[in-house]
Amino acid sequence: MNGHGGEEQTAFEIGFVVPKKAVEQEDEKYDCVEVLVDEFRKAGLIVDRVVGLNDEFIKLAAPLETLGKAAAELQLKKRTHIGVDLQFEWDGAEAFVRQPDGSLFSWCERFHSYQRIINGIVNKSKFVVTLKSNSKEVRWEPKEPLLRKLQSDGIVKEVFPLHDETKRKQLLRSWALKWRDFTNQPIDEICSYFGMKIATYFDFLGMYTRWMLFPAAFGLTLQLVDFRSMQFLVLPVFFISVISWAVLFLQFWKRQNSVLLARWQINYPVETEPGYKFLEMEWRSFQSPVELMRRWGMEKSKEKEVFQREEWFGHLMRFRNDAIVILSIICLQLPFELAYAHLYEAIRSGFMKFGLTAAYLFTIQYFTKIGGKISVKLVKYENNRSTEYRADSLVYKVFGLYFMQSYIGLFYHALLHRNFTTLRQVLIQRLIVSEVLENLMENSVPYLKYSYKKYKAVRKKRKDEKGSSAGKIQSMSRVEKEYLKPAYSASIGKELEDGLFDDFLELALQFGMIMMFACAFPLAFVFAALNNITEIRTDALKLLAMLKRPIPRAAATIGAWLNIFQFLIVMSICTNCLLLVCLYDEEGEWKISPGLAAILIMEHVLLLIKFGFSHMVPEEPAWVKAKRMRNATQAQDMCSKQLLRSISGG
Amino acid sequence: MNGHGGEEQTAFEIGFVVPKKAVEQEDEKYDCVEVLVDEFRKAGLIVDRVVGLNDEFIKLAAPLETLGKAAAELQLKKRTHIGVDLQFEWDGAEAFVRQPDGSLFSWCERFHSYQRIINGIVNKSKFVVTLKSNSKEVRWEPKEPLLRKLQSDGIVKEVFPLHDETKRKQLLRSWALKWRDFTNQPIDEICSYFGMKIATYFDFLGMYTRWMLFPAAFGLTLQLVDFRSMQFLVLPVFFISVISWAVLFLQFWKRQNSVLLARWQINYPVETEPGYKFLEMEWRSFQSPVELMRRWGMEKSKEKEVFQREEWFGHLMRFRNDAIVILSIICLQLPFELAYAHLYEAIRSGFMKFGLTAAYLFTIQYFTKIGGKISVKLVKYENNRSTEYRADSLVYKVFGLYFMQSYIGLFYHALLHRNFTTLRQVLIQRLIVSEVLENLMENSVPYLKYSYKKYKAVRKKRKDEKGSSAGKIQSMSRVEKEYLKPAYSASIGKELEDGLFDDFLELALQFGMIMMFACAFPLAFVFAALNNITEIRTDALKLLAMLKRPIPRAAATIGAWLNIFQFLIVMSICTNCLLLVCLYDEEGEWKISPGLAAILIMEHVLLLIKFGFSHMVPEEPAWVKAKRMRNATQAQDMCSKQLLRSISGG
């Protein structure tokens, strides 16, 4: 289209790793890699081939027109100038709103278009084509996508998004290394480079850090000033203001998120529930009962029943899975954690304590891994409507595990021992260990991994070349370096979540720690604020310099984590009250008899049920929703083309 | 259009009350009533004139075409066959979905069209027309609506919707007098006769009564069966199951409401918050900053600020008003109620008690009236977006008053005296008084009022006729009888709410009573169930036989009452826990020291803040919403006509 947008499209954005060609190739025509490259060129892509140390790399770029046609095939919905989302068509491209950086497609849309083009390369002839790769033979069946075949035969080792060197360096300067900017970040550029999900994370992190300064200042004041006779009032006041702070923060985050959605031209309203009610998004995510939808209208009365059965069965499955997770956490993990906490208290010798902790850390590694795997399996049986829903479901399940792991020891100290000095010690330890060390680890581990891989690759090359020709090793190409960098992946199940899981988990655990024990250790907010200020830059550095470019995700909310933060606030109201009881009741005079305790526990459980149950029964029956969806899409299909023509014409 | 729909339109639906013409009229041409009737005929309405005992009545009916054209002028949005709401146009009438009874417009749409036609009658000439009525002279200014002029001059005494005799009798048979149907009601017919808001009320009442049978059966079992050694467990189990029942009931009601919306072809999704996010409805309710909207686009950066200021100012006003209401309830009403409760306990003599109660009842009458007036005034200063929002805001404010009035005496008994026998007595008294008596009153008071008015009218007629000619009084016409019937109006401020306020209030107070004291008196559920079964039929009878036909309201949800029911559930969790403490702690051994009590109270207040605060800050900033709205309407305006043509053509 215009020069600016067109120019940017020429950056290479997708990389393929294929084996290096042996020199003595006879028939170039049937070589896998040659065919692949040929097909790419036929599809309108710009191909660049780089021979690396041990592998060959194919880099792809796409002219805007190629992308646009793929986007039209994908039936992508895009925001137009009049504010409605319409199906993209190449002829009406002027009608669509451009990204803040001036390009027509966002990175996520470009990525999906690439995928469409690449997966669209199939054997169009009616016969099996036999391809060769070094020594192997590959039978390319008719209508079979070439890439999938080559991947399953191990010829294409990996497909990954490539960093855009100019933009990356610019972001490094304007974002990762710009410490003076404090919590300000160039969100639009992050969004256009990493996609909306990651930009949302950084915006959340920035806002969280900015807001954190208030309680941090309050906490510091509490530490430094002596309130004399009013001292006994200080903690309750702190507690109340911290809770109000947290509630307001989350509410204002929701507002901020909807501002982001408006800025990035996304149409759906933000909601607390895991489900966005806007028509198209919902429709797109309404995948599972798609066949049902088609038959709708034929047998209306039956349809309603089928939908209702489907809906309740889905709920039942999710309820069963949640029950399994909760029960196994309570029956398996809780005793284990309590045993560790108790032993740690009971053992006197420092050496034994060290050994115990080492053994414990080793065990929980396995625990979380197993838990993650089980959760991924459970989630697969659920009838979740889209990848983002599935990811959210996984996050809820796994967070339970981490919650127990991180806090049960602290609860043990706080409530059973009423020993506040150890509690504070443990809190400081945890904050320093989990935050300072983790920040370092986050960057150093990927770097070490990368260095090790690079070292191995060079050594292998040396070994191979010893036979043929002894010469200097050429310096490593940029694409090969990127290939050796680790991917941005989650510590649990890679299928559903990427590295954002770990980053959000860190934030959520920190939030829980400082909120739930706010009264025991008000200074924690200062630690957290300092940590988060560095966290912004280290996370940015990690994404830009240490890892492969992540695969973009289309969602632009923080998903399940919002509910987790809300849950942590409610938890922290209860725990802080208990802490206050322990603090003010040093002589143990406020005895709670078992009867009273039972009734109080019952009350809290019921309140939890009241506010939790509402999520169990959806407010709109599935068949009502399906009908609404069907209507909306029908109307849009009818007027979409007419509307598009009239906008782009005018 | 088709014969069936057209035929139904001929029923007379609007009535006017004008003074009876004195016989010696000179110039018929400039008589007010004649001009009015003439203008009605010119506007395409069918007019019928009935001379009553003391007044003359004008009855209006409208052919479908007249209504249709008025609806098109109103730019009414209606559901089309393809499921989208489009602006109504008379030429494309076939494209729109018909009501369940086969007519094109619902009663509410018809009513608005009538209003449009009647208010559209203005002085089209450039000169003042001087009209006469008996002896008075009326100056009809150019462009002035005739009706408003005549109303302000007291010539048109009243405009009211007329009952449709055939439909009314049919509904009496199939609904009000069909006791065998138990909780089943012909909801579609109710909706087409009374409009959606009233039909929603009856659907809610029916569902509530059906669901009530479970806890009623449980309560009865508790009363009849002796559980021996398990007796101490029975109440907690009852408590938990009743709370779960209530939570599930409200959740399933939300589902049922969205089914109703789908059935009545309304497009917006149900939500817990007082705000429906669907585009058009919202747009229609987005009235106050309409001028702002027009200027939008000119100065975008300023707009955002203006919107934000407007938004927060509105919140501030609402917050201030709520604070005023809550403070005045706590500072003025609470001491008064407590004083009454205390005096009632302290006084021994039965006669004195009776006198005290009479004085109390007399005082609270005034109290509620003043409270209602103040609330109406406060609501006027708020920036609420539509009549339904204003009505909801009023309901919240006034409910606080009734809540204190109804329950504070009960709390006093329950918690301070720990005297369960009196508590139970008072509960039974209240249930019988408030429910059985109220049901009787609801029907007898309107009837008595009507009889008195009729008697007065006949007497006046007799007196007048004594002078002229002594003869028999002709029997009263149907329309005059209707005119004498009382209107369906709220006991507080008539401006914002109609009689539904009293009906919902009765339900909510009953729900609060049986839920909050569930553990003290499980049998209350049986009373409530029996009462509600009769309530359905007596309310139906009241609407059909005792009152004027109510003005239809467009909303199809129970509005603020849903949140009030939710609030009552949370309250009942807390009160029942306190009751259980009192019940099981007969020896007073479970002492709660002041420190512990303070912390527990703080916890509950904070939990309230957590779940209440979220409503304070809207999730979507007003300017984001305004932008979204603007986009949606723009698009709809663009494609509305094209779409309509293609549907009605096909």
> Residue A601 to residues A591, A607, B17, B414: CA-CA distances in angstroms?
15, 10, 64, 21
Q: What is the pLDDT of residue B209?
A: 95
Contact by Cβ (8 Å): A259, B628: no
Would you give the DSSP letter of residue A62? -
pLDDT mean over A150-179 = 89
- What stretches of B382-523 show up as alpha helix (H) in DSSP? 387-411, 420-431, 438-467, 478-484, 500-516
**A143 phi-psi bin (left φ>0, alpha ψ -120 to 50, beta other):** left
Given A104, A133, A162, the domain boundary residue is A162
**Cα A566 to Cα B448: distance, rounded to the nearest angstrom:** 55
The Cβ-side half-sphere exposure at A80, using a 13 Å CA radius, reads 28
Spacing of C-alpha A399 from chain mean position: 14
State residue B499's pLDDT score: 84
d(CA B364, CA B357): 10
Task: Give A167→chain B minimum CA distance, Å.
Answer: 29
- Is the distance from CB of A218 to CB of A241 less than 8 angstroms? yes
Judgement on whether residues B198 and B119 belong to the same structural domain of the protein: no
Q: If residue B232 lies in a helix (H) or strand (E), which one and from where to where?
A: helix B231-263
In the numeric block, which tokens belong to residue B184?
């089943």
Q: Looking at the domain assignment, is residue B199 inside a domain?
A: yes
- Residue B51 — φ and ψ, nearest 5°? -95, 120
Query: For an interface test with B, which of A81, A577, A599 has the most B Cβ atoms less than 10 Å from its Cβ?
Result: A599
- CB distance A274 to A563 below 8 Å: yes
pLDDT of residue A23: 61
Distance CA A222, CA A230 (A): 12
Q: How many CA atoms lie within 13 A of B219 on its CB side?
A: 23
Q: Is the backbone of residue A273 left (phi > 0), alpha (psi -120 to 50) or beta?
A: beta
Least confident of A187-201, A604-618, B542-556: A604-618
Q: Give residue B265's region: left, alpha or beta (phi > 0; psi -120 to 50).
A: left
pLDDT value of residue A275: 31
Q: Which residues of chain B have a CB within 8 Å of the CB of A632?
A: 83-84
- The helix/strand/coil state of A220 is helix
In a domain, A231, yes or no: no
Q: The tokens 């010469």 sit on which residue? A: A471
Query: How far apart, in Å, do the first and last CA atoms of chain B sit?
Result: 17
What is the pLDDT averaged over residues A618-641?
70
Residues A255, A256, A259, CA angle at the centre, nearest 5°?
Answer: 90
Reply yes or no on whether the pLDDT at A637 is more than 90.
no
- Do B65 and B17 lie in a common domain? yes
Structural domain count, chain A: 2
Of B247, B624, B628, the CB nearest to A613: B247
Mean pLDDT calculated for residue range A589-610: 80
Judged against a pLDDT cut of 90, whether residue A372 lies above it is answered with no
Say what the pLDDT of residue A467 is: 58
Mean pLDDT (whole number) for B27-37: 80
Residue B568 has pLDDT above 90, yes or no: yes
Residue B635 pLDDT > 70? no
Interface residue of A267, A573, A634 to substitute, partner B, most B CBs within 10 Å? A573
Q: What is the DSSP letter of A31?
A: B
**pLDDT tens digits for range A294-314:** 445 555 667 778 888 888 888
| Collapsed DSSP state (helix, strand, coil) of residue B145 | strand
Compute the Cα dihedral for B394, B395, B400, B404 and give only its sign. Answer: positive
pLDDT tens digits for range A556-578: 888 889 999 999 999 999 889 88
In a domain, B119, yes or no: yes
**Range in A193-202, A406-415, A498-507 with the lowest mean pLDDT:** A406-415
**Residue A40, burial from CB neighbour count under 10 angstroms (0-12, 13-18, 19+):** buried
B415 and B542 assigned to the same domain: yes
pLDDT at residue B286 tops 50: no
**pLDDT computed for residue A142 by the predictor:** 86
Contacts of A620 in chain B (CB under 8 A): 255, 258, 269-270
**Of B236, B272, B621, Cβ closest to residue A255:** B621
Q: Does A640 score more than 80 pLDDT?
A: no
One domain, residues B490 and B560: yes
Given a cut of 90, whether residue B564 has pLDDT beyond it is yes
Q: Given pLDDT bands bounded at 50, 70 and 90, which one contains residue B292?
A: very low
By mean pLDDT, which of A541-545, B263-267, B387-391, B525-529 is the weakest?
A: B263-267
d(CA B21, CA B27): 12
- Residue at B223 is within a domain: yes
Which SS3 state, helix, strand or coil, does residue B496 take?
Answer: coil
pLDDT digits (tens, 9 = 90+) for A229-284: 888 888 889 999 999 999 999 989 988 988 888 888 775 533 333 333 333 333 33
What count of other Cβ atoms lies within 10 Å of the Cβ of residue A87? 17
- The owner of tokens 């730019």 is B75
Residue at a domain's end among B110, B131, B162: B162
A646 contacts B638? CB cut-off 8 A: yes
pLDDT for residue B280 is more than 60: no
Question: How many residues would you count in chain B?
Answer: 650
Q: Please tell me whether residues B408 and B557 are part of one structural domain.
A: yes
Burial class (CB in 10 A: 0-12, 13-18, 19+), B472: exposed
Best residue in B235, B619, B634 for a mutation probing chain A (most A CBs within 10 Å) = B619
Q: Do B403 and B550 belong together in one domain? A: yes
Q: Give the relative orientation of helices A231-263 and A196-224 as an angle to the nearest 10 degrees.
A: 160
What pLDDT does residue B25 have? 57
- Regarding whether B216 and B199 lie in a shared domain, the answer is yes
Angle at A135 between CA A130 and CA A136, to 5 degrees: 45
Residue A23 lies in a domain: yes
pLDDT exceeds 60 at position B88: yes
Same domain, B182 and B208: yes
The DSSP secondary structure of A515-581, one letter per residue, reads: HHTTTT-TTHHHHHHHHHHHHHHHHHHIIIIISPPPPP----S-THHHHHHHHHHHHHHHHHHHHHH
Question: What value does the mean pLDDT of chain B take?
Answer: 81
Give dist(CA B144, CA B141) in Å, integer.
5
pLDDT digits (tens, 9 = 90+) for B225-249: 888 888 888 888 999 999 999 999 9
CA distance A28 to A23: 11
pLDDT at residue B150 tops 50: yes
Amino acid at the residue A104: L
Beta strands in A84-215 (DSSP E): 85-87, 129-133, 136-140, 158-161
CB-based contact A258 B624, cutoff 8 Å: yes
**Nearest-by-CA chain A residue for B279:** A278
Instruction: Mean pLDDT check: name the lowest of A318-332, A371-385, B76-90, B630-644.
Output: B630-644
Residue A26 is predicted with a pLDDT of 60
- Spatial separation of the C-alpha atoms in residues B576 and A555, rounded to whole Å: 44
**CB of A150 closer than 8 Å to CB of A50:** no
Count other Cβ atoms within 10 Å, centred on residue A363.
12
Does A490 map to a domain?
Answer: no
Amino acid letter at B639? Answer: C
Which bin fits B489, alpha (ψ -120 to 50), beta or left (φ > 0)? beta
3-state secondary structure of B589: coil
pLDDT number for residue A170: 92
Query: Please, is A153 exposed, middle or buried when counting C-beta atoms within 10 Å of its C-beta (0-12, 13-18, 19+)?
Result: middle
Q: Is the pLDDT of residue B387 over 50?
A: yes
Of A628, A312, A556, residue with least CA distance to B277: A628
Q: Is residue B304 within 8 Å of B650, Cβ to Cβ?
A: no
User: Of A129, A162, A195, which closes a domain?
Assistant: A162
Q: How confident is the model at residue B214 (pLDDT cuts 50, 70, 90)?
A: very high
Burial B548-565 (b: 16+ CB within 10 A, else e): bbbbbbbbbbbbbbbbbb
Give the residue among A551, A552, A648, A649 at the shortest CA–CA distance from A78.
A648
Q: Which residues in chain A touch residue B580, judged by CB atoms under 8 angstroms apart?
A: 599
Show Cβ contacts of residue B269 under 8 Å, excluding neighbours closer than 6 positions.
Answer: A277, A619, A620, A628, B258, B261, B276, B277, B278
Give per-residue pLDDT as tens, A78-133: 877 776 777 788 888 888 888 887 888 888 888 989 988 998 888 888 888 888 87
Please tell me the predicted confidence (pLDDT) of residue A210. 95
Q: Which of A629, A631, A641 minimizes the C-alpha distance to A282?
A: A629
What is the predicted pLDDT for the residue at B138? Answer: 83
Angle, CA B304 vertex, CA B301 and CA B306 arms, to 5°: 110
pLDDT for the residue numbered B33: 86
**Is B121 contained in some domain?**
yes
Scanning every residue of chain B, which has its alpha carbon at the shortest distance from the alpha carbon of A82? B631
Q: Do B603 and A574 lie within an 8 Å CB cutoff?
A: yes
More confident residue, B628 or B451: B451
Asked if residues A171 and A544 have their Cβ atoms less than 8 Å apart, the reply is yes
User: What is the reported pLDDT for A569?
Assistant: 92
Token pair listed for B629: 């709205």
Which residues of chain A have a CB within 8 Å of the CB of B609?
243-244, 247
CA separation for the pair B481, B404 (Å, rounded): 39
Same structural domain for residues B48 and B158?
A: yes
Strands B136-140 and B158-161: unpaired
Q: Which helix (H) or strand (E) holds B61?
A: strand B55-61
Report yes or no on B338 lying in a domain: no
Residue B210: predicted pLDDT: 95
Among B79, B237, B599, pick the best mutation site for testing chain A contact (most A Cβ within 10 A).
B599
> What is the C-alpha to C-alpha distance for residues A586 and A255, in angstroms, rounded to an integer?
43
B254 inside 8 A of chain A by CB: yes
Residues B177, B236 within the same domain: yes
User: Pick from A200, A351, A333, A355: which is nearest to A264 by CA?
Assistant: A200
Residue B24 has a pLDDT of 58
Assess B315–A contact: CB distance below 8 Å, yes or no: no
Q: Which has more pLDDT, B10 or A353?
A: A353
Lowest-pLDDT range, A614-623, B117-126, B437-446, B493-502?
A614-623
Q: What pLDDT score does B473 carry?
A: 55
**pLDDT at site B512:** 93
| pLDDT bucket at A205, cuts 50 / 70 / 90 | very high
The residue range of the domain holding B71 is 3-162
Asked if B510 contacts B531 with a C-beta cutoff of 8 angstroms, the reply is yes
For residues B54 and B175, membership in a common domain is answered with no
Please name which of A146, A220, A296, A150 lies closest in space to residue A527, comparing C-alpha atoms.
A220
Q: In which element (H, E) is residue A609 found?
A: helix A594-613
Cα dist from B270 to A48, A273, B252, B253, whole Å? 54, 14, 12, 10
Residues B559, B395 contacting (CB under 8 angstroms): yes
- Please determine, for residue A639, whether its predicted confidence score (pLDDT) is greater than 80: no
B188 & B149 share domain: no
Give strand ranges (E) for A205-319.
none
